[in-house]
Structure 1
């Protein structure tokens, strides 16, 4: 059988199949792609972001989610951002964020180009998304894309431990020193 003869998967087929898999996958153009593991530095940053977002959202309507949850970025496309905030209606049986407002991608050496180019474009097409943050693992640097309720995407580079990531759509500010807490660079 030729690979070109394979019918692209639907989102429903993907999630039915994913239930029986131990690894995490994304659906890209109807094809499941396995996600790689993460370095300790990547994981430390992700845990720091999850902890700070969860604290900041306490008593609010948004819910933090991890890379085990997914966002639909287009037809036949399911992505699993490192961390996100869903401000939509909760459904404990769903695998998709219903209204993702914030997405964090912690960059890995192997995925940084794809994350900042292809995924950037896909994520920015999500109508509910207001903040997209790429957090570097090689240095204390974050790139924050934000879109006002009425307006175009704007890019802000945040460098060093004294900076802050202002997530006005969910009324949470993350300090860079908290994002990189316990993280050392070679």
Structure 2
């Protein structure tokens, strides 16, 4: 009975219900789904990259109408969908006691091994539905690489950034993100030498 009741929750009912939960949920096809289903929490790599993005964007955007948010703030992707990106940049006047972004411009998802497929497929497609969203950035944690989806008219362009020297321009929010900043303090597993394998 509880599950069928959840199916009919409005977004407003969902936010009221969420206040009494121990963990953050997303709303997918009208149903609450644990944000990191089957995860025991974010890894140190994931957490450090997420914090680095927030610190860099927060510093650059101070004094502007834009600000970074954490996964506590939801992105409405459809009538029955609410997602919680790792980082989002909202460019609208601050409204106290609200639980969702009104004019998001950028979504950042930091990949975890168990969520990479979801982040790169369904969550990206869901996020593209928000009318004010200009860019979606997917950040890897096993190597210094990021994938940027940028809205161009009615479609989306995709650009890959690799290596710590790469810099991602984000003119829609008046900021940049260098991979050196994103990965500050992180280390990466050594690459396997396939040529030497025998």
Aligned-CA RMSD value: 1.7
Tell me the TM-score normalised to structure 2 length.
0.88
Aligned pair 1:153/2:156, yes or no? yes
Offset at 1:7? 3.7
Q: Any unmatched runs of 5+ in structure 1?
A: none
Offset at 1:96? 0.3
Conserved? CA contact 1:62–1:86, under 8 Å: yes
Aligned pair 1:19/2:19, yes or no? yes
Partner residue, 2:194:
none
| Structure-to-structure mapping, 1:167-178, within 5 angstroms | 167-178=170-181
Partner residue, 1:28:
28
Instruction: Provide the rounded CA distance (Å) in 1 between the counterparts of 2:80 and 2:20.
Output: 20
Residue 9 of structure 2 aligns to a residue whose secondary structure is coil
Aligned pair 1:62/2:55, yes or no? no
Conserved? CA contact 2:25–2:32, under 8 Å: yes
Instruction: Provide the rounded CA distance (Å) in 1 between the counterparts of 2:85 and 2:156.
Output: 19
Partner residue, 2:196:
none
Q: Any unmatched runs of 5+ in structure 2?
A: 190-198
Tell me the TM-score normalised to structure 1 length.
0.94
Residue 178 of structure 1 aligns to a residue whose secondary structure is helix
Conserved? CA contact 1:8–1:76, under 8 Å: no
Instruction: Provide the rounded CA distance (Å) in 2 between the counterparts of 1:151 and 1:75.
Output: 21
Decide whether aligned partners of structure 1 residues 52 and 6 sit closer, same or farther in structure 2, where only a CA change above 3 A counts. Answer: closer
The structure having more radius of gyration, on CA atoms, is: 2
Residue 155 of structure 2 aligns to a residue whose secondary structure is coil
1:124 corresponds, among 112, 116, 128, to 128
Conserved? CA contact 2:70–2:88, under 8 Å: yes
Offset at 1:63? 1.3
Conserved? CA contact 1:90–1:98, under 8 Å: no
